[in-house]
Amino acid sequence: MHMVLWILASVALLVLAGTVYQHIGSLRDRRMHTGQGRSVSIGRGCGLYFFEEGRGEPTVLFEAGIGATHLNWRGIQDPISTVAHTVAYDRASLGWSSPCRTPRTPGNIATELHRMLEAAGFRPPYVLVGHSFGGLVMRRYALLYPDEVSGVVLVDPMRSEEWPPLNPSRQSQLDLGNRLIRYALPVVRCGLARLLVTCLFGRPGKFSEQVAGVAGSHPRHVLYRIKTEVRKMPRAVWPAVAAHWSRPSFYAGLRSHIHSIPATVREMHTAEPIRGIPVTVLTPRNAAPLTSNQLDHIGDSVLQIIARKSEHWIHLDEPDLVINAIRVMIGAPPVAVAAEAEPAMAFVTENALPEDAPLLAVPRSAR
């Protein structure tokens, strides 16, 4: 009996110590990592955090994927800021932005982004750049505020037809994501996730891998994504990324986005095409190219580029491809690309071409 009480007391002390560690770490993270940007209120107790660089027109706005923050764009934002004013931000319920009560659908998020831009004193024209889920947000923004938008760049945008309710076969993925988040929240609140993430980004990374190996295949998959995708980002942002993944608010925000995917799909499936605004879509090698019908659904002037060396995170795999797509959209000359053993090529299609027209091979240096 005494042994049981001793074990329970020890566990309680560990949980208490971990909770204190988590609280102190969260305060320290906010103090260390928010100094470069600023937050503005958009009403109803919601504030959005953003980071800006550069000056001039147009302003290039960056929208990250479903669980990512403004940090995901740093490798693209820095070079683009030499030729334009740039703004990357954290959607409500993610990063350093506060939670918001509205469902995480493209229409709601685009409206909040518009309020943020007005509150911060930014003025159009805007070039919109969105990755994955963020691509749907930028499409919706262009539809809601077309007079403010001069161009759109979509980096492997989320395809509504691939997700519930249009495609019920993927419901299991959403259910799995919700379950993992439900299990993760207690771990995060007691500081264990902070310890694991800190170890992963530091020298004792093998410790995190061993713990995840005991936990099962899904944590190992998460660690794989961390190692292969996040480590392609500038090393300077790693501590801030680790800080986000150590906070309960990150997992709660991600859960709210996943919960809203069916509503997002319904909203964008019936969305009108973007008219009179040039759109560039970058599609990775491991995804089927968008058909003419799909391009027509996006807009009436769409250029598709197939990134032959990339998977879903094109801006991390081939950042120069995304940088040049943005530079062309803002009227700046493309940057030269270092010579490679095999010439880097991209395939380009336009929705003005017939569906059976051959793809055109265009070297990156020629765009």
Residue 192 neighbours by CB distance under 10 Å: 19
Which pLDDT belongs to residue 196?
74
245-257 burial, b for 16+ CB within 10 Å, e for fewer? Answer: bbbbbbbebbbbb
Which pLDDT belongs to residue 245?
87
Q: Hey, is 35 helix, strand or coil?
A: coil
Mean pLDDT of all residues belonging to the chain: 84
- Supply the CATH number for residue 297's domain: 3.40.50.1820
Helical H segments across 73-132, by residue range: 74-80, 106-120
- Residue 257: closest CA among 65, 110, 113: 65
Query: What's the one-letter identity of residue 41?
Result: S
Has residue 151 been placed in a domain? yes
- Residue 190: closest CA among 13, 19, 318, 4: 19
Q: Mean pLDDT across the stretch 326-339?
A: 87
Has residue 362 been placed in a domain? yes
Q: Give the pTM.
A: 0.86
Q: Hey, is 59 helix, strand or coil?
A: strand
Task: Residue count of the chain, please give it.
Answer: 367
Has residue 298 been placed in a domain? yes
Low-confidence winner among 49-53, 98-102, 147-151, 284-288 (lowest mean pLDDT): 98-102
- pLDDT exceeds 60 at position 356: no
Q: Which residues pair with 345 in a beta bridge?
A: 363
* % of the chain beyond a pLDDT of 90: 62
Q: Mean pLDDT across the stretch 4-33?
A: 64
Which pLDDT belongs to residue 215?
47
Which pLDDT belongs to residue 214?
45
CB under 8 A, 24+ apart: contacts of 191-198? 191/17, 191/18, 191/19, 191/20, 191/21, 191/22, 191/25, 192/18, 193/245, 193/246, 194/21, 194/22, 194/25, 194/246, 195/18, 195/21, 197/242, 197/245, 197/246, 198/242, 198/246
Domain span holding position 106: 38-168+261-302+325-366
Has residue 346 been placed in a domain? yes
Output 171 or 183, whichever has higher pLDDT. Answer: 171
Q: Mean pLDDT across the stretch 307-331?
A: 96
Strands 59-63 and 85-89: parallel
Which pLDDT belongs to residue 192?
78
Has residue 221 been placed in a domain? no
Which pLDDT belongs to residue 12?
55
The string of pLDDT tens digits covering residues 254-269 is 999 999 999 999 999 9
CB-CB contact of 59 with 84 (8 Å) = yes
Which pLDDT belongs to residue 33?
87
pLDDT band at 344 (very low <50, low <70, confident <90, very high): very low
Q: Mean pLDDT across the stretch 18-26?
A: 64
How many independent structural domains does the chain possess? 1
Has residue 22 been placed in a domain? no
Low-confidence winner among 3-17, 30-44, 82-96 (lowest mean pLDDT): 3-17
Between CA 70 and CA 78, with CA 72 as vertex, the angle to 5 degrees is 80
- pLDDT exceeds 80 at position 205: no
Query: What's the one-letter identity of residue 82?
Result: T
Has residue 146 been placed in a domain? yes
Has residue 181 been placed in a domain? no
CB-CB contact of 103 with 76 (8 Å) = no
Low-confidence winner among 59-73, 144-158, 203-217 (lowest mean pLDDT): 203-217
Output 26 or 148, whichever has higher pLDDT. Answer: 148
- Using CA atoms, how far apart are residues 1 and 340, in angstroms rounded to an integer? 70
Q: Which residues pair with 155 in a beta bridge?
A: 131, 282
Q: Mean pLDDT across the stretch 236-253?
A: 90
* % of the chain beyond a pLDDT of 70: 77
Q: Mean pLDDT across the stretch 326-348?
A: 71
Residue 60 neighbours by CB distance under 10 Å: 28
- Using CA atoms, how far apart are residues 302 and 280, in angstroms rounded to an integer? 6
Q: Mean pLDDT across the stretch 170-176?
A: 93
- pLDDT exceeds 60 at position 247: yes
CB-CB contact of 299 with 292 (8 Å) = no
